[in-house]
Protein backbone atom coordinates (compact mmCIF):
# COMPACT_ATOMS: atom_id res chain seq x y z
CA UNK A 1 0.00 0.00 0.00
CA UNK A 2 1.24 3.45 -0.85
CA UNK A 3 1.98 5.68 2.07
CA UNK A 4 3.03 9.29 2.36
CA UNK A 5 4.37 9.87 5.82
CA UNK A 6 6.95 12.61 5.52
CA UNK A 7 8.08 15.67 3.62
CA UNK A 8 11.59 16.53 2.48
CA UNK A 9 12.72 19.97 1.38
CA UNK A 10 14.98 18.59 -1.37
CA UNK A 11 14.99 15.11 -2.85
CA UNK A 12 17.92 14.23 -5.11
CA UNK A 13 17.43 11.24 -7.39
CA UNK A 14 20.74 9.82 -8.56
CA UNK A 15 23.98 8.63 -7.02
CA UNK A 16 26.69 10.29 -9.07
CA UNK A 17 28.99 13.27 -8.76
CA UNK A 18 26.33 15.79 -9.87
CA UNK A 19 24.12 14.78 -6.95
CA UNK A 20 26.92 15.03 -4.41
CA UNK A 21 28.28 18.33 -5.70
CA UNK A 22 24.81 19.84 -5.53
CA UNK A 23 24.18 18.92 -1.90
CA UNK A 24 27.74 19.85 -0.92
CA UNK A 25 27.37 23.28 -2.50
CA UNK A 26 24.06 23.80 -0.70
CA UNK A 27 25.55 23.00 2.69
CA UNK A 28 28.66 25.10 2.04
CA UNK A 29 26.44 28.08 1.35
CA UNK A 30 24.53 27.70 4.57
CA UNK A 31 21.46 25.74 3.51
CA UNK A 32 19.84 23.92 6.44
CA UNK A 33 16.98 22.35 4.48
CA UNK A 34 16.28 18.65 4.81
CA UNK A 35 17.92 16.64 2.02
CA UNK A 36 17.36 13.06 0.91
CA UNK A 37 19.60 11.50 -1.74
CA UNK A 38 18.17 8.39 -3.43
CA UNK A 39 20.40 6.14 -5.55
CA UNK A 40 19.60 2.79 -7.14
CA UNK A 41 23.14 1.40 -6.83
CA UNK A 42 24.13 -0.36 -3.59
CA UNK A 43 27.05 2.04 -3.09
CA UNK A 44 27.35 5.60 -1.87
CA UNK A 45 27.92 8.09 -4.73
CA UNK A 46 31.31 7.61 -6.34
CA UNK A 47 33.49 8.93 -9.16
CA UNK A 48 33.18 6.98 -12.41
CA UNK A 49 36.34 7.96 -14.37
CA UNK A 50 38.51 5.32 -12.61
CA UNK A 51 36.22 2.49 -13.77
CA UNK A 52 37.86 2.19 -17.20
CA UNK A 53 41.33 2.84 -15.79
CA UNK A 54 42.42 1.90 -12.25
CA UNK A 55 39.49 -0.37 -11.38
CA UNK A 56 40.02 -2.56 -14.45
CA UNK A 57 43.75 -2.60 -13.90
CA UNK A 58 43.98 -3.44 -10.21
CA UNK A 59 42.03 -4.70 -7.23
CA UNK A 60 40.65 -1.26 -6.36
CA UNK A 61 37.75 -1.20 -3.91
CA UNK A 62 34.75 1.10 -3.89
CA UNK A 63 36.03 2.99 -0.83
CA UNK A 64 38.75 4.64 -2.91
CA UNK A 65 36.20 5.92 -5.42
CA UNK A 66 33.64 7.45 -3.05
CA UNK A 67 32.83 11.10 -3.68
CA UNK A 68 32.42 11.55 0.08
CA UNK A 69 32.73 9.26 3.09
CA UNK A 70 29.71 7.94 5.03
CA UNK A 71 30.63 10.25 7.91
CA UNK A 72 30.52 13.28 5.62
CA UNK A 73 26.80 12.81 4.93
CA UNK A 74 26.06 12.14 8.58
CA UNK A 75 27.87 15.27 9.78
CA UNK A 76 25.91 17.41 7.32
CA UNK A 77 22.54 15.91 8.04
CA UNK A 78 22.10 14.45 4.55
CA UNK A 79 20.10 11.24 4.39
CA UNK A 80 21.25 8.76 1.76
CA UNK A 81 19.33 5.74 0.58
CA UNK A 82 21.35 3.36 -1.55
CA UNK A 83 19.89 0.45 -3.48
CA UNK A 84 16.62 2.35 -3.78
CA UNK A 85 14.91 3.13 -7.06
CA UNK A 86 12.57 6.05 -7.58
CA UNK A 87 9.54 4.70 -9.43
CA UNK A 88 7.47 7.78 -10.25
CA UNK A 89 7.14 11.53 -9.84
CA UNK A 90 3.75 13.13 -9.28
CA UNK A 91 4.18 16.80 -10.10
CA UNK A 92 0.67 17.79 -9.04
CA UNK A 93 0.99 16.23 -5.59
CA UNK A 94 4.73 17.09 -5.37
CA UNK A 95 5.62 13.53 -4.46
CA UNK A 96 8.24 10.95 -5.38
CA UNK A 97 7.16 7.33 -5.17
CA UNK A 98 9.88 4.82 -4.34
CA UNK A 99 9.87 1.25 -5.60
CA UNK A 100 8.79 0.00 -2.16
CA UNK A 101 5.58 2.04 -2.45
CA UNK A 102 6.67 4.84 -0.13
CA UNK A 103 5.66 8.34 -1.21
CA UNK A 104 7.66 11.37 -0.15
CA UNK A 105 6.54 14.96 -0.54
CA UNK A 106 9.19 17.31 -1.85
CA UNK A 107 9.70 21.04 -1.97
CA UNK A 108 12.33 20.83 -4.71
CA UNK A 109 13.67 17.96 -6.74
CA UNK A 110 16.97 17.36 -8.52
CA UNK A 111 17.11 14.71 -11.23
CA UNK A 112 20.68 13.44 -11.59
CA UNK A 113 19.92 9.97 -12.91
CA UNK A 114 22.85 9.84 -15.31
CA UNK A 115 22.98 7.68 -18.41
CA UNK A 116 22.83 4.00 -19.35
CA UNK A 117 24.95 2.08 -21.87
CA UNK A 118 23.46 1.67 -25.34
CA UNK A 119 23.04 -1.88 -26.55
CA UNK A 120 23.41 -2.42 -30.30
CA UNK A 121 20.51 -4.31 -31.94
CA UNK A 122 22.45 -7.45 -32.80
CA UNK A 123 21.91 -11.13 -31.99
CA UNK A 124 23.61 -12.23 -28.80
CA UNK A 125 23.96 -8.73 -27.38
CA UNK A 126 23.02 -10.08 -23.96
CA UNK A 127 26.36 -11.91 -23.89
CA UNK A 128 28.30 -8.65 -23.92
CA UNK A 129 29.73 -6.81 -20.95
CA UNK A 130 29.03 -3.12 -20.40
CA UNK A 131 31.00 -0.66 -18.31
CA UNK A 132 29.03 1.98 -16.46
CA UNK A 133 29.01 1.05 -12.77
CA UNK A 134 31.55 -0.16 -10.24
CA UNK A 135 29.91 -3.58 -10.23
CA UNK A 136 30.18 -3.68 -14.05
CA UNK A 137 33.91 -2.99 -13.75
CA UNK A 138 34.43 -5.71 -11.14
CA UNK A 139 32.58 -8.29 -13.27
CA UNK A 140 34.68 -7.39 -16.31
CA UNK A 141 37.92 -7.37 -14.34
CA UNK A 142 37.11 -10.79 -12.92
CA UNK A 143 36.43 -12.22 -16.39
CA UNK A 144 39.73 -11.04 -17.90
CA UNK A 145 43.05 -12.70 -17.21
CA UNK A 146 46.24 -13.14 -19.28
CA UNK A 147 45.56 -14.72 -22.63
CA UNK A 148 41.81 -14.07 -22.66
CA UNK A 149 40.59 -12.86 -26.05
CA UNK A 150 38.65 -9.61 -25.74
CA UNK A 151 36.73 -7.82 -28.47
CA UNK A 152 35.68 -4.27 -27.69
CA UNK A 153 32.82 -2.95 -29.80
CA UNK A 154 33.31 0.79 -30.23
CA UNK A 155 36.37 3.02 -30.37
CA UNK A 156 35.15 5.99 -28.32
CA UNK A 157 36.61 7.27 -25.08
CA UNK A 158 35.46 4.33 -22.95
CA UNK A 159 36.39 1.79 -25.62
CA UNK A 160 39.91 3.17 -25.97
CA UNK A 161 40.48 3.35 -22.20
CA UNK A 162 39.06 -0.13 -21.65
CA UNK A 163 41.24 -1.57 -24.41
CA UNK A 164 44.39 -0.17 -22.82
CA UNK A 165 43.43 -1.32 -19.33
CA UNK A 166 42.57 -4.88 -20.38
CA UNK A 167 45.69 -5.17 -22.55
CA UNK A 168 47.70 -4.24 -19.46
CA UNK A 169 46.07 -7.23 -17.72
CA UNK A 170 47.52 -9.48 -20.40
CA UNK A 171 44.42 -9.89 -22.54
CA UNK A 172 44.52 -10.18 -26.33
CA UNK A 173 42.44 -7.12 -27.24
CA UNK A 174 40.81 -6.16 -30.52
CA UNK A 175 38.83 -2.95 -30.95
CA UNK A 176 36.14 -3.03 -33.65
CA UNK A 177 35.08 0.45 -34.78
CA UNK A 178 32.41 1.20 -37.37
CA UNK A 179 34.03 4.47 -38.46
CA UNK A 180 37.43 5.11 -39.99
CA UNK A 181 38.96 6.75 -36.91
CA UNK A 182 38.84 6.51 -33.13
CA UNK A 183 36.32 8.64 -31.22
CA UNK A 184 33.98 8.39 -34.18
CA UNK A 185 36.30 10.68 -36.12
CA UNK A 186 35.29 13.61 -33.91
CA UNK A 187 38.90 14.37 -32.98
CA UNK A 188 40.32 14.07 -36.47
CA UNK A 189 42.82 11.77 -38.13
CA UNK A 190 46.01 13.06 -36.45
CA UNK A 191 44.86 12.38 -32.91
CA UNK A 192 43.33 9.07 -33.96
CA UNK A 193 46.64 7.94 -35.50
CA UNK A 194 48.47 9.03 -32.35
CA UNK A 195 46.14 6.95 -30.18
CA UNK A 196 46.22 3.96 -32.54
CA UNK A 197 49.99 3.94 -32.33
CA UNK A 198 49.90 4.01 -28.54
CA UNK A 199 47.36 1.18 -28.38
CA UNK A 200 49.21 -0.97 -30.89
CA UNK A 201 52.42 -0.59 -28.88
CA UNK A 202 50.47 -2.16 -26.01
CA UNK A 203 49.34 -5.05 -28.17
CA UNK A 204 45.85 -3.82 -29.09
CA UNK A 205 44.58 -4.58 -32.60
CA UNK A 206 42.11 -2.17 -34.20
CA UNK A 207 39.66 -2.90 -37.00
CA UNK A 208 38.14 0.19 -38.63
CA UNK A 209 35.15 0.31 -40.93
CA UNK A 210 33.78 -2.83 -39.35
CA UNK A 211 30.36 -3.60 -37.91
CA UNK A 212 29.68 -6.39 -35.44
CA UNK A 213 26.67 -8.40 -36.62
CA UNK A 214 26.41 -10.96 -33.84
CA UNK A 215 27.89 -12.22 -30.58
CA UNK A 216 28.22 -15.94 -29.83
CA UNK A 217 29.93 -17.99 -27.16
CA UNK A 218 33.61 -17.65 -28.04
CA UNK A 219 33.32 -15.32 -31.03
CA UNK A 220 31.85 -12.21 -32.59
CA UNK A 221 30.71 -11.96 -36.18
CA UNK A 222 31.82 -9.14 -38.46
CA UNK A 223 30.13 -9.87 -41.75
CA UNK A 224 31.21 -13.34 -42.87
CA UNK A 225 34.24 -13.33 -40.55
CA UNK A 226 34.36 -14.56 -36.97
CA UNK A 227 36.75 -13.10 -34.41
CA UNK A 228 37.69 -15.23 -31.44
CA UNK A 229 36.26 -13.58 -28.32
CA UNK A 230 36.11 -15.03 -24.84
CA UNK A 231 34.85 -11.65 -23.64
CA UNK A 232 32.97 -8.98 -25.62
CA UNK A 233 32.67 -5.45 -24.24
CA UNK A 234 30.03 -3.10 -25.62
CA UNK A 235 31.25 0.51 -25.72
CA UNK A 236 28.88 2.14 -28.21
CA UNK A 237 27.84 5.14 -26.15
CA UNK A 238 25.17 5.91 -23.57
CA UNK A 239 21.62 7.23 -23.48
CA UNK A 240 20.29 9.64 -20.84
CA UNK A 241 18.17 7.98 -18.17
CA UNK A 242 15.25 10.34 -18.56
CA UNK A 243 12.38 7.85 -18.14
CA UNK A 244 11.22 9.32 -14.83
CA UNK A 245 11.13 12.80 -16.30
CA UNK A 246 9.28 11.68 -19.43
CA UNK A 247 6.67 9.84 -17.39
CA UNK A 248 6.18 12.98 -15.30
CA UNK A 249 5.51 15.04 -18.42
CA UNK A 250 8.78 16.99 -18.41
CA UNK A 251 10.18 17.90 -21.85
CA UNK A 252 13.02 15.61 -22.93
CA UNK A 253 15.10 15.75 -26.08
CA UNK A 254 18.39 13.87 -25.85
CA UNK A 255 18.13 14.37 -22.10
CA UNK A 256 15.95 16.34 -19.72
CA UNK A 257 15.56 19.82 -21.18
CA UNK A 258 16.56 22.62 -18.82
CA UNK A 259 17.30 26.32 -19.11
CA UNK A 260 20.71 27.81 -18.35
CA UNK A 261 19.87 27.64 -14.63
CA UNK A 262 19.28 23.86 -14.75
CA UNK A 263 15.54 24.30 -14.17
CA UNK A 264 13.12 22.11 -16.09
CA UNK A 265 9.68 23.16 -17.30
CA UNK A 266 8.65 22.72 -13.66
CA UNK A 267 10.34 25.56 -11.78
CA UNK A 268 10.92 23.43 -8.67
CA UNK A 269 12.45 20.48 -10.52
CA UNK A 270 16.07 20.72 -11.66
CA UNK A 271 18.33 18.38 -13.62
CA UNK A 272 22.12 18.04 -13.75
CA UNK A 273 24.77 15.61 -14.91
CA UNK A 274 24.71 13.24 -17.87
CA UNK A 275 20.90 13.22 -17.99
CA UNK A 276 20.53 17.00 -18.39
CA UNK A 277 20.42 18.91 -21.66
CA UNK A 278 21.31 22.33 -20.31
CA UNK A 279 20.49 25.31 -22.51
CA UNK A 280 20.64 23.13 -25.62
CA UNK A 281 23.73 21.06 -24.81
CA UNK A 282 24.27 17.73 -23.07
CA UNK A 283 27.84 16.81 -22.09
CA UNK A 284 28.76 13.36 -20.80
CA UNK A 285 31.76 13.83 -18.57
CA UNK A 286 32.86 14.08 -14.95
CA UNK A 287 33.70 17.80 -15.12
CA UNK A 288 30.34 18.76 -16.59
CA UNK A 289 28.50 16.70 -13.98
CA UNK A 290 30.53 18.11 -11.10
CA UNK A 291 30.15 21.72 -12.19
CA UNK A 292 26.52 21.19 -13.19
CA UNK A 293 25.61 19.98 -9.71
CA UNK A 294 27.25 23.02 -8.14
CA UNK A 295 25.54 25.41 -10.53
CA UNK A 296 22.16 23.79 -9.93
CA UNK A 297 22.67 24.39 -6.21
CA UNK A 298 23.32 28.07 -6.82
CA UNK A 299 20.17 28.29 -8.91
CA UNK A 300 18.13 26.65 -6.15
CA UNK A 301 19.42 29.25 -3.72
CA UNK A 302 18.48 32.07 -6.06
CA UNK A 303 22.11 33.06 -6.60
CA UNK A 304 23.61 34.44 -9.77
CA UNK A 305 25.43 31.80 -11.76
CA UNK A 306 28.95 32.62 -12.90
CA UNK A 307 29.62 32.48 -16.61
CA UNK A 308 29.74 28.86 -17.76
CA UNK A 309 33.25 27.57 -18.34
CA UNK A 310 34.36 25.90 -21.54
CA UNK A 311 33.67 22.15 -21.44
CA UNK A 312 36.63 19.94 -20.52
CA UNK A 313 36.91 16.25 -21.30
CA UNK A 314 39.98 14.21 -20.42
CA UNK A 315 41.11 10.67 -21.13
CA UNK A 316 43.93 8.44 -19.91
CA UNK A 317 44.83 5.24 -21.72
CA UNK A 318 48.06 3.34 -21.23
CA UNK A 319 50.79 5.96 -20.89
CA UNK A 320 48.88 8.60 -22.86
CA UNK A 321 46.85 11.56 -21.64
CA UNK A 322 44.43 13.69 -23.65
CA UNK A 323 42.57 16.88 -22.71
CA UNK A 324 39.84 18.32 -24.96
CA UNK A 325 38.62 21.81 -24.07
CA UNK A 326 35.73 23.61 -25.74
CA UNK A 327 32.95 22.37 -28.01
CA UNK A 328 33.27 22.20 -31.78
CA UNK A 329 30.17 22.71 -33.89
CA UNK A 330 31.26 20.16 -36.45
CA UNK A 331 32.05 22.37 -39.45
CA UNK A 332 35.47 23.65 -38.33
CA UNK A 333 38.78 22.79 -39.90
CA UNK A 334 41.21 20.90 -37.69
CA UNK A 335 44.72 22.34 -37.45
CA UNK A 336 47.75 20.88 -35.66
CA UNK A 337 49.45 23.73 -33.80
CA UNK A 338 52.31 21.84 -32.20
CA UNK A 339 54.00 18.46 -32.54
CA UNK A 340 56.27 16.53 -30.24
CA UNK A 341 58.13 13.28 -30.66
CA UNK A 342 55.12 11.20 -29.70
CA UNK A 343 52.74 12.97 -32.08
CA UNK A 344 50.42 16.00 -32.07
CA UNK A 345 50.73 18.05 -28.89
CA UNK A 346 48.11 20.71 -29.60
CA UNK A 347 45.25 20.48 -32.10
CA UNK A 348 42.78 23.32 -32.72
CA UNK A 349 39.31 23.45 -34.23
CA UNK A 350 38.98 26.70 -36.20
CA UNK A 351 35.62 28.04 -37.41
CA UNK A 352 34.87 30.09 -40.52
CA UNK A 353 35.47 33.30 -38.57
CA UNK A 354 39.01 32.06 -37.83
CA UNK A 355 38.21 31.58 -34.15
CA UNK A 356 39.22 28.53 -32.12
CA UNK A 357 36.21 26.70 -30.70
CA UNK A 358 37.99 23.64 -29.31
CA UNK A 359 41.53 22.63 -28.41
CA UNK A 360 42.98 19.19 -27.73
CA UNK A 361 46.33 18.82 -25.99
CA UNK A 362 48.25 15.65 -25.29
CA UNK A 363 50.66 14.65 -22.56
CA UNK A 364 50.02 17.74 -20.45
CA UNK A 365 51.37 20.05 -23.19
CA UNK A 366 49.22 22.81 -21.69
CA UNK A 367 47.37 23.12 -18.40
CA UNK A 368 43.70 22.52 -19.16
CA UNK A 369 42.61 24.91 -16.41
CA UNK A 370 44.60 27.66 -18.14
CA UNK A 371 43.26 26.71 -21.54
CA UNK A 372 39.59 26.83 -20.50
CA UNK A 373 39.29 30.62 -20.18
CA UNK A 374 41.34 31.03 -23.36
CA UNK A 375 38.93 28.90 -25.37
CA UNK A 376 35.94 30.60 -23.77
CA UNK A 377 37.23 33.88 -25.27
CA UNK A 378 37.20 32.34 -28.78
CA UNK A 379 40.78 33.34 -29.63
CA UNK A 380 42.29 33.44 -33.08
CA UNK A 381 44.92 30.84 -33.88
CA UNK A 382 47.63 33.49 -33.53
CA UNK A 383 46.36 34.52 -30.10
CA UNK A 384 46.24 30.94 -28.95
CA UNK A 385 49.72 30.23 -30.25
CA UNK A 386 51.10 33.27 -28.41
CA UNK A 387 49.57 31.97 -25.20
CA UNK A 388 50.66 28.36 -25.63
CA UNK A 389 53.87 28.70 -27.59
CA UNK A 390 56.11 31.48 -26.22
CA UNK A 391 58.72 32.63 -28.73
CA UNK A 392 61.61 31.32 -26.65
CA UNK A 393 60.05 27.87 -26.41
CA UNK A 394 58.68 27.07 -29.82
CA UNK A 395 57.36 23.52 -29.85
CA UNK A 396 60.01 22.13 -27.54
CA UNK A 397 59.43 20.40 -24.25
CA UNK A 398 55.99 20.44 -22.71
CA UNK A 399 55.31 22.17 -19.41
CA UNK A 400 54.68 20.17 -16.29
CA UNK A 401 51.31 18.46 -16.30
CA UNK A 402 48.48 20.67 -15.10
CA UNK A 403 45.87 19.58 -12.58
CA UNK A 404 43.97 16.44 -13.42
CA UNK A 405 40.50 15.36 -12.45
CA UNK A 406 40.93 12.84 -9.62
CA UNK A 407 41.09 9.19 -10.56
CA UNK A 408 41.68 7.18 -7.41
CA UNK A 409 42.31 9.38 -4.36
CA UNK A 410 45.44 8.95 -2.40
DSSP 62-115: GGGTBSS-HHHHHHTTEEEE-S--EEEEETTTTEEEETTSEEEEEEEEEE---E
pLDDT digits (tens, 9 = 90+) for 117-161: 999 999 999 999 999 999 999 999 999 999 999 999 999 999 999
What's the mean pLDDT in 1-22? 87
What's the mean pLDDT in 16-23? 97
What percent of the chain is predicted at pLDDT more than 70?
94
| Top CATH class, 119-234 | alpha beta
- What pLDDT band is residue 325 in, cutting at 50, 70 and 90? very high
- Give the chain's length: 410
**CATH fourth-level superfamily of 3-116+238-300:** FAD/NAD(P)-binding domain (3.50.50.60)
Contacts of residue 366, Cβ cutoff 8 Å, sequence gap at least 6: 323, 346, 359, 388, 398, 399, 402
What's the mean pLDDT in 60-74? 96
Dist CA 215 CA 338 (whole Å): 42
Give the per-residue pLDDT at 57. 87
Dist CA 240 CA 255 (whole Å): 5
- What pLDDT band is residue 205 in, cutting at 50, 70 and 90? very high
The residue with greater pLDDT, 160 or 308, is 160
The residue with greater pLDDT, 59 or 347, is 347
Give the per-residue pLDDT at 342. 79
Give the per-residue pLDDT at 58. 86
Contacts of residue 362, Cβ cutoff 8 Å, sequence gap at least 6: 191, 194, 320, 321, 322, 323, 340, 342, 343, 344, 345, 346
- DSSP 3-state of 248: coil
pLDDT digits (tens, 9 = 90+) for 162-196: 999 999 999 999 999 999 999 999 999 999 999 99
E strand or H helix at 376: helix 368-376
pLDDT at position 64 over 50: yes
The residue with greater pLDDT, 336 or 404, is 336
What percent of the chain is predicted at pLDDT more than 90?
89
Q: What is the mean pLDDT of the chain?
A: 92
- What pLDDT band is residue 409 in, cutting at 50, 70 and 90? very low
Give the per-residue pLDDT at 390. 63
pLDDT at position 405 over 50: no
- DSSP 3-state of 355: strand
Distances in Å between the Cα of 366 and the Cα atoms of 12, 90, 183, 387 are: 36, 48, 21, 10
Give the per-residue pLDDT at 223. 84
Q: By mean pLDDT, which of 232-246, 284-298, 389-403 is the weakest?
A: 389-403
Report the DSSP pairing between strands 256-258 and 276-278. Answer: parallel
- What pLDDT band is residue 400 in, cutting at 50, 70 and 90? very low
- What pLDDT band is residue 2 in, cutting at 50, 70 and 90? low
Judge whether 48 and 112 are in contact, CB under 8 Å.
no
**152 φ/ψ sector (left φ>0, alpha ψ -120 to 50, else beta):** beta
Tell me if the domain spanning 319-388 has CATH number 3.30.70.
no
As annotated, the residues of the chain forming the CATH 3.30.390 domain(s) are 319-388
Judge whether 212 and 159 are in contact, CB under 8 Å.
no
- What pLDDT band is residue 3 in, cutting at 50, 70 and 90? low
Give the per-residue pLDDT at 59. 84
Give the per-residue pLDDT at 340. 82
What's the mean pLDDT in 28-41? 97
- What pLDDT band is residue 382 in, cutting at 50, 70 and 90? very high
Give the per-residue pLDDT at 43. 97
As annotated, the residues of the chain forming the CATH 3.50.50.60 domain(s) are 3-116+238-300, 119-234
pLDDT at position 394 over 60: no
- What pLDDT band is residue 343 in, cutting at 50, 70 and 90? confident
Please tell me the number of Cα atoms within 13 Å of 33 on its side-chain side: 23
Amino acid sequence: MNRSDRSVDLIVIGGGVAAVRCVRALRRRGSTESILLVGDEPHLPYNRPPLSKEVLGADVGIDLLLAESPAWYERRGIEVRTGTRAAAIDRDRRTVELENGERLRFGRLLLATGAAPRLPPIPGVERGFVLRTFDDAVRLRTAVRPGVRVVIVGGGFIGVETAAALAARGAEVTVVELGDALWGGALGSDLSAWAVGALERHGVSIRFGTAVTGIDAGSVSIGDERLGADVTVLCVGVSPRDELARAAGLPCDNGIVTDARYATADEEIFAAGDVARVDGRRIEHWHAAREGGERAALAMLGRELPEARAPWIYSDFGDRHLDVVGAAAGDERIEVLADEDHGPAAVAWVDTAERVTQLAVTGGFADAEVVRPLISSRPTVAELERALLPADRGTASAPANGPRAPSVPG
